[in-house]
Chain A
Amino acid sequence: MSEPLLVVRGLSKQFVSANETVPVIEKLSFTLGQGRSLALTGRSGSGKSTLLNLLCGLEVADAGSIALRDQVFEAGAAAAKHRAAAWARLRKQHIGVVFQEANLMPALTLLENVQFRAYLAGRDPAHSEDWLTRLNIGELARRYPDQVSGGQRQRAALAMVFAMEPALILADEPTGSLDRHTSDEVTGLMFELQARHGCSLILATHDAELAAGCQQHLDLGHLSGV
């Protein structure tokens, strides 16, 4: 077993809507090793996105702790501002997030998007075009997001994430809106590069076939509130 990158203990999150509280994540614990991949499965509404948001600090947990690299985030601990800043630093340099769609700034070309992300992460933007080439869209570098297909956009989103050389990639149904064939191509590339660069990956998906490509599994299905 490799060094653990991420250790989650007793994580809980609930949403308060109108007049009821909906528990979405309840006392969840798991560990993810460095360079390992984890498939997060569950029906729609089971809390996959919520968990990913918790793991990158875009949402704040109600209980439990998250240990990531050398940092430990305890729920309910004081200094929320300090914690937010620490999460922001992690997202900037070490956690790459890929959403189902709209991962690119629409007013920037694919290349400019990758450069922007690399710049924020403090990496050399000069390699940006290489990343696009590695994802087989080098010739589209100067197009705008609306001038390429959905699959090409998701490849560009992956190029952006890899260009920041992250320790952890959080991918939230990254191929959810693509057709089977394109989806397989894109995920294939993702697994390949993830393995080659030794970063960890959490892939949220409701697709069992995709999930099979990962080394670890976590099913949130039974937690579904709906």
Chain B
Amino acid sequence: MTGFLSFFRFFFLPRALLSHYRRHPLQLVALGVMIVLATMLWTGVNQLTSQARASLAQSEQAVAERRQVLRDDGGALAVDDFVTLRLAGVCVMPWLEVTPSPGHHLAGQRLVGIDPLAAHCFGNSVDGAGALDQPLDGKPFVDIHTAAGISARESRLHLLVPASTNPSVLPPGYSLAGFSASPDTGELGDSFLLNLEALGVLVLLIAALLLRSVYLLGLAQRRESFALLHRFGVPPGRVQRWLALEILALALLGVVPGVWLGRWLATGLGGGFGQALEGLFDIPLYAGQGQGWLTPVLVMLAVVMVSCLGDLLFLRFRQRLALPLAVQAVVAAALLVTGLAMAWLAPSLLWVFIAVALVFAGAGWLTPLAVARLSHWRARLAKKPLVLWRYRELAVLVRRLTLPLVALQFALAMVLAVQALVTTFESTFDRWLAQRLEAAYYIEVPAGADGRKAADWLTSAQERSPDLQWHRVIRGSALLADASGEGGRQVDVFALAPISSLIREWSLLEAAERHWETLAAGDGVMINEQLARRHNLGAGDRLQLSIGGEPLDSVIVGVYPDYGRPVGEVLLNAGLLPASFNTRFESVSVTPGRPGIDRITEALRQIWDVGALTTRDNATIRELATGVFDQTFALTRAMTLLTLVLAASALLMMGWVLFSTRTWYFRLLVAWGMSQREVAAQLLRLALLLTGGIAALALPLGLWLTWALVHRINPLAFGWSLPMAVYPGFWLELAVLSLAIGLSIALLMRRQLSRPAALPASASALSGGER
């Protein structure tokens, strides 16, 4: 007997448990597929984000501002200069930028050749050269000898020196200047990544909900066999242990290919992503490895285990949680309200994230309760028994479909937010580009040359051809004379003269009357959003600055959005700059009109008496940047749509299965004399109410999430906000999708109506689950 018992225990139990899947292989497949897809989705998003983050960090180092040596005569540097400097004992590192000629296999990519042996000049990444110590096998960094061997359309040599280099060690004819490998493009990418990361967490949550719903569905159908085992004297703990083992095995089988798929997806899409970042921010994605295998595998294993067996693990906790519905609703509402208030008032990023978590928890908990409540209330108003029946049935379905419905709600909300975010980023990015690349060309004023001479020439040139637009840009910094006595704070100075029509199209966040005129007259200044936020300044306030040691007290006539830069900036008329102002950078922005850029550069070259000018063609930059950034946006959209598709198909599957468990009752309507068509129409209304309702409830959540991302998380993280835009056209698309799911469920059910239905499994032991 004992022999039989042990045989029974160790062999029969798992077989009895697994026999369920032998009878319902589709359930096993569904669960497995769900694990794989959820893992893939999350790994993909996570991989992309961490990959991008890693490369951002590295490129930040790589493009960190350093110092370079320039020839006083403005001429291009050559090998001779390198030799001269080396002989003078200056530790210089050559930095050779090449653009391969069109025929070359690397055409179109800018490469940077550096000499790793010279990198020691920069010590132990004291100076941000850490990235340069890495093996030089990736683009765009290559060994200088490789770069020199490439047939180049354009090549330019820079000689970098450590920041600590004293100008006095330089041989005569050379001077020091700042060097940065890219225009100052800042934090727009960081912000995008942060948002992507927040969405990654949401994706994980949605994946967990979907997994749990599929798992519980299978479990519900196995309840009878569990009861049978229990009657045979198998203790429930033993069954649970085997279930845990079963799901662990399934998770192991599903998670590893899921992670592989996710990585594959991320690499496939990541190419585009990397290119986008690189094109936009001059950020090389040469070492973006992302995470290893272990983390995503472990995370997903944990997610699968907790989402499927969480209530077994926290059984006692859950029993305590089995609160009456009214109490549940109050707790959920309290969570929601706390989250909303917290998001509004949160002083730091962490609190906002907690607030978002609270809001989602509250909303996810409250939604099914509220919908069920609402349908009961609607049922009570019903005059016709048929309407009463429909709303009662809706309440049952909502309760039994809670998890996939909440997952769909979250997914819809997320897609709404991402869509709004991406579209906002796109338009922001366009505006940012328009603002930063306000003219068709930038011409750098070479070191030692006089910008004023160029201005004089351009003024007269403009008289001859009025469609020429231009202004001089002088950049440097100033100190903020803080009234609070906290001491000066450095701000960037962005000085323009004249205040040309090139910038008059900027859209301002805040503006006084006749702001451009006041700015042009030198009677006022404008500040960027960061400065305004940080010091709580606005149009009409006064700003006290110390520029080049001279005080400047001026009224603020406007606040302009300045995406992606951490620094406060003051925009003023260059006429206000004192002679003592230390110019960090000077350029001329030109939209040439009829004279053509060649005539202008030629004239300036002669005026300044230099060999060549550094000219940037903004149209190409813009084209490249928008082109590749579009790819990133498309990628993000694809990811979120994938989430949506996953959630939608889960709801479709679960909805169909659950509707099917009630086929007997729908057939009962036929037995009571309703035609199949009438019953099908009722089912259609039911399914549409269900999915349409959830879409309607996802809308406020999605809008709120957009608001939180754009107006709370971004300003707290970066000091600037994105405009909040809404896109009702897209809402409509999502609504149509939800209704399409409902329609599909109804169509699938319609087919079942014509066949005789089996008695519901639990008919003999009617449980509360039926209503």
- Measured CB to CB, the residues of A under 8 A from B are 53, 56, 58-59, 84-85, 88-93, 97, 99-103, 105-108, 112, 115-117, 119-121, 125, 144-146, 150, 153, 177
A88-B673, A106-B396, A107-B392 as given contacts; A101 in contact with B763, CB under 8 Å: yes
Point out the residue from A90, A93, A106, A115 that lies within 8 Å of B766, measured CB to CB.
Answer: A106
Considering the chains assembled together, what is the distance between the CA atoms of A44 and B763 in angstroms?
20
- B665, A120: Cβ atoms closer than 8 Å: no
List B contacts of A88 (CB < 8 A).
Answer: 670, 673-675
Considering the chains assembled together, what is the distance between the CA atoms of A106 and B664 in angstroms?
11
- Judged by DSSP, the binding face of A is helix
A105-B668, A106-B665, A116-B385 as given contacts; A58 in contact with B756, CB under 8 Å: yes
List A contacts of B664 (CB < 8 A).
Answer: 102
- B766, A146: Cβ atoms closer than 8 Å: yes
A84-B675, A93-B673, A108-B392 as given contacts; A119 in contact with B384, CB under 8 Å: yes
Residue of B nearest to A150 (CB): B764
- B388, A112: Cβ atoms closer than 8 Å: yes
Q: How far is the CB of B28 from chain A (nearest CB, A)?
A: 25
Q: How far is the CB of A60 from chain B (nearest CB, A)?
A: 11
Residue of A nearest to B390 (CB): A107
- B674, A92: Cβ atoms closer than 8 Å: yes
- A106, B673: Cβ atoms closer than 8 Å: no
List B contacts of A145 (CB < 8 A).
Answer: 766, 770-771
- Measured CB to CB, the residues of B under 8 A from A are 384-386, 388-389, 392-393, 395-396, 664-665, 668, 670-676, 756, 759-760, 763-764, 766-768, 770-771
List A contacts of B668 (CB < 8 A).
Answer: 102-103, 105
Point out the residue from B392, B756, B759, B768 that lies within 8 Å of A102, measured CB to CB.
Answer: B759
- A121, B759: Cβ atoms closer than 8 Å: no
- B764, A101: Cβ atoms closer than 8 Å: yes
- 17 A-B pairs with CB atoms under 8 Å apart are A58-B756, A59-B756, A88-B670, A91-B671, A97-B671, A100-B759, A102-B763, A102-B766, A106-B665, A108-B385, A108-B392, A112-B385, A119-B384, A119-B386, A120-B385, A145-B771, A150-B764
A106-B665, A145-B770 as given contacts; A101 in contact with B759, CB under 8 Å: yes
A92-B672, A92-B674, A121-B673 as given contacts; A107 in contact with B389, CB under 8 Å: yes
Q: A88-B674, A145-B766 are in contact. List 14 more A-B contacts (CB 8 A).
A: A58-B670, A84-B676, A88-B670, A89-B673, A101-B764, A102-B766, A106-B766, A107-B395, A107-B396, A107-B770, A117-B672, A120-B673, A146-B768, A177-B764
Considering the chains assembled together, what is the distance between the CA atoms of A216 and B104 in angstroms?
99
Residue of B nearest to A106 (CB): B770
Considering the chains assembled together, what is the distance between the CA atoms of A146 and B760 in angstroms?
13
- B764, A115: Cβ atoms closer than 8 Å: no
Number of A-B contacts (CB under 8 A): 90
A101-B764, A105-B665, A106-B771 as given contacts; A115 in contact with B673, CB under 8 Å: no
- B672, A53: Cβ atoms closer than 8 Å: no
A106-B396, A106-B766, A119-B386 as given contacts; A85 in contact with B673, CB under 8 Å: no
Point out the residue from B389, B675, B756 that lies within 8 Å of A85, measured CB to CB.
Answer: B675
Considering the chains assembled together, what is the distance between the CA atoms of A112 and B389 in angstroms?
9
A91-B672, A92-B673 as given contacts; A107 in contact with B386, CB under 8 Å: no
- Judged by DSSP, the binding face of B is helix
List A contacts of B674 (CB < 8 A).
Answer: 88, 92, 120
A53-B756, A103-B668 as given contacts; A125 in contact with B673, CB under 8 Å: no
List B contacts of A89 (CB < 8 A).
Answer: 673
- B672, A120: Cβ atoms closer than 8 Å: yes
A102-B759, A106-B665, A177-B764 as given contacts; A90 in contact with B673, CB under 8 Å: yes
List A contacts of B676 (CB < 8 A).
Answer: 84
Considering the chains assembled together, what is the distance between the CA atoms of A3 and B671 in angstroms?
26
Residue of A nearest to B673 (CB): A92
Q: How far is the CB of B642 from chain A (nearest CB, A)?
A: 36
Considering the chains assembled together, what is the distance between the CA atoms of A103 and B396 in angstroms?
18
In the A-B complex, list the 6 residue pairs whose CB atoms are closest, starting with the nearest. Answer: A92-B673, A106-B770, A107-B392, A91-B673, A116-B385, A102-B763
- B389, A108: Cβ atoms closer than 8 Å: yes
- A115, B763: Cβ atoms closer than 8 Å: no
Considering the chains assembled together, what is the distance between the CA atoms of A120 and B674 in angstroms?
8
Considering the chains assembled together, what is the distance between the CA atoms of A90 and B672 in angstroms?
9
List A contacts of B675 (CB < 8 A).
Answer: 84-85, 88
Considering the chains assembled together, what is the distance between the CA atoms of A108 and B388 in angstroms?
8
Q: How far is the CB of A8 from chain B (nearest CB, A)?
A: 20
A101-B759, A102-B665, A107-B395 as given contacts; A116 in contact with B386, CB under 8 Å: yes
Point out the residue from B389, B756, B767 that lies within 8 Å of A105, measured CB to CB.
Answer: B389
Residue of A nearest to B391 (CB): A107
Q: Which of B389, B668, B766 gathers the greatest number of chain A CB atoms within 10 Å?
A: B766
Residue of A nearest to B676 (CB): A84
Considering the chains assembled together, what is the distance between the CA atoms of A92 and B670 in angstroms?
9
Considering the chains assembled together, what is the distance between the CA atoms of A103 and B376 in angstroms?
22
Considering the chains assembled together, what is the distance between the CA atoms of A97 and B670 in angstroms?
11
Considering the chains assembled together, what is the distance between the CA atoms of A103 and B760 in angstroms?
11
Residue of B nearest to A50 (CB): B756
Q: Which of A88, A91, A102, A107 gathers the greatest number of chain B CB atoms within 10 Å?
A: A107
Considering the chains assembled together, what is the distance between the CA atoms of A146 and B396 in angstroms?
14
Q: How far is the CB of B676 from chain A (nearest CB, A)?
A: 8
Residue of B nearest to A90 (CB): B673
Residue of A nearest to B662 (CB): A106
List A contacts of B671 (CB < 8 A).
Answer: 56, 58, 91, 97, 99
Considering the chains assembled together, what is the distance between the CA atoms of A102 and B757 in angstroms?
12
Considering the chains assembled together, what is the distance between the CA atoms of A115 and B522 in angstroms?
84
Considering the chains assembled together, what is the distance between the CA atoms of A144 and B759 in angstroms?
19
List B contacts of A125 (CB < 8 A).
Answer: 385
Considering the chains assembled together, what is the distance between the CA atoms of A153 and B764 in angstroms?
11
Q: How far is the CB of A116 from chain B (nearest CB, A)?
A: 4
List B contacts of A153 (CB < 8 A).
Answer: 766
Considering the chains assembled together, what is the distance between the CA atoms of A216 and B133 in angstroms?
101
Considering the chains assembled together, what is the distance between the CA atoms of A125 and B388 in angstroms?
14
Considering the chains assembled together, what is the distance between the CA atoms of A84 and B670 in angstroms?
11
Considering the chains assembled together, what is the distance between the CA atoms of A59 and B667 in angstroms?
13
Q: How far is the CB of B687 from chain A (nearest CB, A)?
A: 16
List B contacts of A112 (CB < 8 A).
Answer: 385, 388-389
List A contacts of B763 (CB < 8 A).
Answer: 101-102
Residue of B nearest to A94 (CB): B673
List A contacts of B384 (CB < 8 A).
Answer: 119
Residue of B nearest to A58 (CB): B671
Q: How far is the CB of B754 from chain A (nearest CB, A)?
A: 10
Q: How far is the CB of A51 from chain B (nearest CB, A)?
A: 14
- B767, A146: Cβ atoms closer than 8 Å: yes
Considering the chains assembled together, what is the distance between the CA atoms of A90 and B674 in angstroms?
10
List B contacts of A177 (CB < 8 A).
Answer: 764
Q: How far is the CB of A111 from chain B (nearest CB, A)?
A: 10
List A contacts of B771 (CB < 8 A).
Answer: 106-107, 144-146
Considering the chains assembled together, what is the distance between the CA atoms of A102 and B385 in angstroms?
19
Residue of A nearest to B672 (CB): A120
- B760, A102: Cβ atoms closer than 8 Å: yes
Considering the chains assembled together, what is the distance between the CA atoms of A211 and B696 in angstroms?
56
Residue of A nearest to B767 (CB): A146
List B contacts of A101 (CB < 8 A).
Answer: 759, 763-764
- B385, A146: Cβ atoms closer than 8 Å: no
